[in-house]
């Protein structure tokens, strides 16, 4: 992680970065980094975007509208609580709430709902989290020290059973809060109130308390047993955790937290399926933080030494997953150039079955990845949410999923969470159902998978979330403390 020792090596790194960024720009449809400000003209096409064929535009239009409707129709409008899954009755996931908050401005820009309606939904959500009880008790509370419990009861809004107070899920919620703060930037009294509540929620979090083994940040806490023994150290979806902690208006952490986060990076840096990158098996780890942070052209000390940025790293991870599916070492049904995508998702159940004369182990909800566990279960969100990174392979893949499996897996709210073409038709799954032509098919949609689908399609099409967040003094401060430089950080916010 040390900086390069000689000028020649530094110049080589700059050249490598330039080549990488040029490739990123080419595969991103030639989009510019800034477009019309929030609060100006809205509707489809209000921001910059790639030139899409009529077929591609129609495909994305339909998928976005259906996915948006998941959040708009299944959320409790009084509290803003989003169910973890639907239609199976479930608790609320605070991460799904963060994705819901991110979805509502997309609905405004796409013309699905009015700005006033979206603002009302966001305000209801923020007021709920402002007023919900906080305390160290084991029940009857929503959070503690500004953090929130991973799952909340949909009716009471209180802690669900013995679930943990979660730093990463709190961060995903607050990322949605921060985006709404930047998007609803008007002088309307309700937008002023919205920003005031957002500032309160962002400022209430005691990030320093969540550092029992400072400078690292713990994964969570339980009133019954104290802090979870694991910290956020190493590359995965939690970049957004460290950044929010670094940029917090009060009770922020020291820059050493980013050093603690990156100290084990070399353990996962390597070449897999033809792509040299920081690896993390499930693709959600390469997507979540990118929903809110435009990493194109930005590099911290580690990535500068590698000559790339985190956006390019996610692009390489996406290409590696497609290459893995084409290679298909497990011999799973359906895998190939246009059908791929492993991440955390539902599965048929914890079962071992005979498939083609060989015992095959399946799982229920589990993290899946090329270098981790693979039971033939594919999650559409893994592919679709990678759209900004590699549109040249993702767009054909979405078309193929609709063409080959659409009748079974594409429904009211878009793609169901997961399906498994290898699951034998005569077997009985523990959840979902077996459908001829598609194998096992999930019955549910998951909020934490629907959110990235909607948001990353919009980032690809218009830069909406990224444009708003580039204006955030909070985010700019966080990136500076983490040692990021280059790209849009060199420009004045608009």
CATH number at residue 416: 1.50.10.140
pLDDT tens by residue, 239-297: 999 999 999 999 999 999 999 999 999 999 999 999 999 999 999 999 999 999 999 99
Q: Where is pLDDT greater, at 162 or 15? A: 162
- pLDDT in the model for residue 492: 83
- Cα gap 391→393, rounded to integer Å: 5
Residue 304 structure tokens:
């500068």
1 occurs within a structural domain: no
Distance, CA of 311 to CA of 72 (rounded, Å): 30
Beta strand 226-227 pairing with 269-272: unpaired
Is residue 199 assigned to a domain?
yes
* Residue 279 near residue 317, CB atoms below 8 Å: yes
What lies within 8 Å, CB to CB, of 235 at 6+ separation is 262, 265, 268, 278, 279, 280, 285
- 337-348 burial, b at 16+ Cβ within 10 Å, e below that, comes to ebbbbbbbbbbb
User: Span 9-35, mean pLDDT?
Assistant: 34
Q: Exposed, middle or buried by CB within 10 Å (0-12, 13-18, 19+), for 404?
A: middle
Q: Is residue 37 part of a domain?
A: yes
Query: Residue range 404-412: average pLDDT?
Result: 97
Domain interval for residue 300 = 7-490
Q: Judge contact between 197 and 140, C-beta under 8 A.
A: no
250 in Cβ contact with 485 (< 8 Å): no
**What percent of the chain has a predicted confidence (pLDDT) above 90?**
88
Rounded to 5 degrees, what are φ and ψ at 413?
-110, 30
Structure token digits, residue 52: 């899409």
Q: Are 346 and 431 in contact (CB under 8 A)?
A: yes
pLDDT tens digits along 301-341? 999 999 999 999 999 999 999 999 999 999 999 999 999 99
Cα distances from 396 to residues 110, 120, 451, 453, in angstroms, run 23, 37, 21, 16
Q: What three-state secondary structure class fits 485?
A: strand
Q: What are the two backbone dihedrals, phi and then psi, of residue 345, each rounded to the nearest 5 degrees?
A: -165, 175
Mean per-residue pLDDT over the chain, rounded: 91
Does pLDDT of 28 surpass 90? no
Residues 6+ apart with CB under 8 A from 323: 273, 274, 275
Q: Which ranges constitute the DSSP H helices of 328-390?
A: 380-384
pLDDT in tens, 29-61: 333 223 333 433 344 434 568 999 999 999 999
Q: Let me know if 440 is exposed, middle or buried by CB neighbors in 10 A (0-12, 13-18, 19+).
A: buried
Instruction: Look up tokens 């110049």; give the residue.
Output: 11
Asked if 180 contacts 106 with a C-beta cutoff of 8 angstroms, the reply is: no
Asked whether residue 219 is domain-assigned, the answer is yes
Residue 46 belongs to some domain of the structure: yes
**Structure confidence at residue 48 (pLDDT):** 62
In a domain, 2, yes or no: no
Tokens of 257: 């937290």
Residue 459 located in a structural domain: yes
The whole-model pTM stands at 0.91
| Cα dist from 180 to 118, 120, 130, 183, 197, whole Å | 10, 12, 15, 5, 11
Q: Count CA atoms within 13 Å of residue 155 on its CB side.
A: 1
Q: Is 271 helix (H, G, I), strand (E, B) or coil?
A: strand
Structural domain count of the chain: 1
Instruction: Give residue 361's pLDDT.
Output: 97
């Amino acid at each position: 992680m040390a900086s390069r020792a000689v000028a020649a090596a530094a110049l080589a790194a700059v050249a490598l970065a330039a080549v990488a960024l040029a490739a990123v720009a080419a595969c991103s449809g030639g989009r510019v980094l800034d477009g019309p400000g929030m609060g100006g003209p809205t509707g489809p096409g209000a921001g910059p975007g790639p030139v899409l064929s009529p077929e591609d535009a129609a495909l994305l239009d339909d998928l976005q509208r259906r996915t948006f409707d998941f959040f708009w129709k299944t959320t409790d409008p009084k509290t803003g609580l989003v169910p973890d899954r639907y239609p199976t009755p479930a608790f609320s996931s605070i991460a799904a709430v963060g994705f819901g908050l991110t979805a509502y401005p997309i609905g405004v820009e796409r013309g699905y709902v009015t700005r006033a309606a979206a603002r009302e939904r966001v305000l209801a959500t923020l007021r709920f989290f402002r007023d919900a009880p906080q305390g160290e008790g084991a029940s009857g509370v929503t959070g503690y020290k500004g953090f929130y419990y991973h799952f909340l009861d949909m009716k009471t809004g209180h802690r669900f059973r013995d679930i943990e107070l979660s730093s990463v899920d709190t961060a995903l919620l607050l990322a949605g809060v921060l985006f709404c703060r930047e998007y609803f930037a008007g002088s309307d009294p309700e937008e002023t109130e919205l920003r005031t509540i957002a500032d309160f929620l962002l400022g209430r979090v005691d990030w320093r308390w969540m550092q029992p083994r400072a400078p690292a940040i713990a994964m969570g806490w339980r009133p019954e047993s104290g802090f979870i023994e694991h910290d956020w150290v190493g590359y995965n979806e939690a970049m957004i955790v460290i950044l929010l902690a670094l940029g917090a208006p009060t009770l922020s952490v020291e820059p050493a937290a980013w050093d603690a986060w990156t100290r084990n990076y070399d353990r996962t840096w390597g070449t897999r399926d033809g792509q040299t990158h920081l690896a993390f098996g499930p693709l959600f780890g390469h997507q979540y933080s990118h929903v809110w942070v435009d990493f194109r052209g930005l590099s911290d000390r580690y990535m500068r030494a590698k000559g790339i940025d985190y956006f390019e790293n996610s692009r390489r991870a996406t290409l590696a997953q497609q290459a893995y599916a084409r290679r298909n070492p497990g011999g799973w049904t359906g895998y190939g150039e246009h059908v791929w995508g492993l991440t955390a998702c539902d599965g048929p159940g914890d079962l071992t079955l005979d498939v083609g004369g060989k015992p095959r182990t399946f799982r229920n909800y589990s993290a899946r990845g090329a270098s981790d566990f693979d039971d033939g279960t594919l999650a559409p969100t893994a592919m679709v949410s990678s759209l900004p990174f590699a549109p040249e392979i993702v767009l054909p893949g979405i078309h193929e999923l609709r063409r080959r499996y659409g009748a079974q897996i594409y429904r009211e709210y878009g793609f169901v969470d997961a399906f498994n073409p290898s699951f034998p038709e005569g077997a009985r799954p523990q959840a979902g159902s077996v459908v001829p032509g598609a194998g096992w098919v999930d019955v549910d949609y998951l909020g934490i998978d629907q959110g990235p689908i909607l948001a990353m399609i919009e980032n690809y099409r218009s830069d909406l979330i990224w444009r708003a967040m580039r204006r955030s003094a909070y985010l700019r401060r966080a990136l500076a403390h983490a040692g990021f430089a280059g790209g849009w950080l060199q420009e004045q916010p608009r």
